[in-house]
Amino acid sequence: MIKGEPSRTALLTAVQRGHHNLTAPEPKILRDDLALAIAGLDSLEAAQGYIDNMIEVFAALSDPETATIFMKRIDGSVCMRSRVVEEELALAKPRGIKQLVILGAGLDSTAYRRTDLTEGMNVFEVDHPATQAWKEERLEAANIKVPENTKFVAFDFEHQTLAQALEAGGIKPDVPTFFTWLGVHMYLTDEAVKATLGVLGKFPKGSEIVMDFISPSYVLAGGIAEDSVAQLSKVVSQMGEPIKSQYYEDELEAILNEAGFSEVKYLSAKWLVENYLGGNKDAFDMPEEATSILYAVI
């Protein structure tokens, strides 16, 4: 991230969710009707302009057709990872999970939008101080009230000790906890990723994490952009947030197991389409076996 500035990729992913909400045909992957307001974009035209500009940035690395497919797939993945959180939260609630920790929250709107799922839970948004201060300003400007059960914990994954920050922020280490870590690990070093998972893995049995990941074998555009990780890396580097870690599935599973997560489940595009979208492949147009999202339980 650019020193002292809020995350630009957090703005990007919020615009992607908001744009999807307004433009994607049914069945939509996600219904984030607060994303654009939090992002500070007040119209579909503004959101479309932002997305078109991103497509141009990608097109400079390939061609307009590839870039359009690429961007659509990144949009889908960004919405889908939040959808997995909502689906898993709905299952966690009856299991008695009372603590939700949104790590690297960015402009995530779950706490404000899905109070049906978070009711009865203590919700903590953990993020870099610069991004978090900006989000608090944005929420106020958009007239979105922070629910009483939601607290902000400022934290830098690269330069602070997570266990101490969680405890200082009021997160109870002896309570089964639902963690989300969406679109974050790739911006952190391998050391910071392992240190983070090492702390989370010590939470009690019944705790769970939903996260997405970038793999060196990640081919977002299903063969038409074989160097998709390199392209993504160039674009996010230009935004001041270079990709610092990537994992093959078996490597990440070993790290999660070592940290204390016993069961790791990778969710393939095929599984997601069948289970969440009634088999409608067009709604999430990814190669069937592609995985970029997982959940793991302690």
Under the criterion CB under 6 A, does residue 9 sit at the interface with ligand SAM? yes
**Out of 158, 167, 226, 289, which residue is the one contacting ligand SAM (CB under 6 A)?**
158
Piece in contact with ligand SAM (CB under 6 A), picked from 1-9, 116-124, 215-223, 285-293: 1-9
Under the criterion CB under 6 A, does residue 10 sit at the interface with ligand SAM? yes
Under the criterion CB under 6 A, does residue 105 sit at the interface with ligand SAM? yes
Under the criterion CB under 6 A, does residue 88 sit at the interface with ligand SAM? no
Which run of H or E residues covers position 293? strand 291-297
**Out of 187, 203, 284, 295, which residue is the one contacting ligand SAM (CB under 6 A)?**
187
Under the criterion CB under 6 A, does residue 18 sit at the interface with ligand SAM? no
Nearer of residues 134 and 203 to ligand SAM, judged by Cβ: 134
CA–CA dist 211, 260 (Å, integer)? 15
Under the criterion CB under 6 A, does residue 7 sit at the interface with ligand SAM? yes
Could you tell me which of 266, 226, 231, 270 has the C-alpha nearest to residue 247? Answer: 266
CA–CA dist 270, 286 (Å, integer)? 8
Under 8 Å between Cβ of 200 and 207: yes
Piece in contact with ligand SAM (CB under 6 A), picked from 5-13, 19-27, 41-49, 267-275: 5-13
| Minimum distance, C-beta of residue 258 to ligand SAM, in the bound complex (Å) | 22
Helix (H, G, I), strand (E, B) or coil at 56: helix
Long-range contacts from 66-72, C-beta under 8 angstroms, 24+ separation:
66/221, 66/224, 66/225, 69/221, 69/224, 69/225, 69/285, 70/220, 70/221, 70/225, 70/228, 70/231, 72/285
Under the criterion CB under 6 A, does residue 109 sit at the interface with ligand SAM? no
CA–CA dist 78, 172 (Å, integer)? 29
| Minimum distance, C-beta of residue 283 to ligand SAM, in the bound complex (Å) | 19
Q: Name the site residues for ligand SAM (rule: CB under 6 A).
A: 1, 7, 9-10, 13-14, 104-106, 108, 127-128, 131, 155-158, 182-184, 187
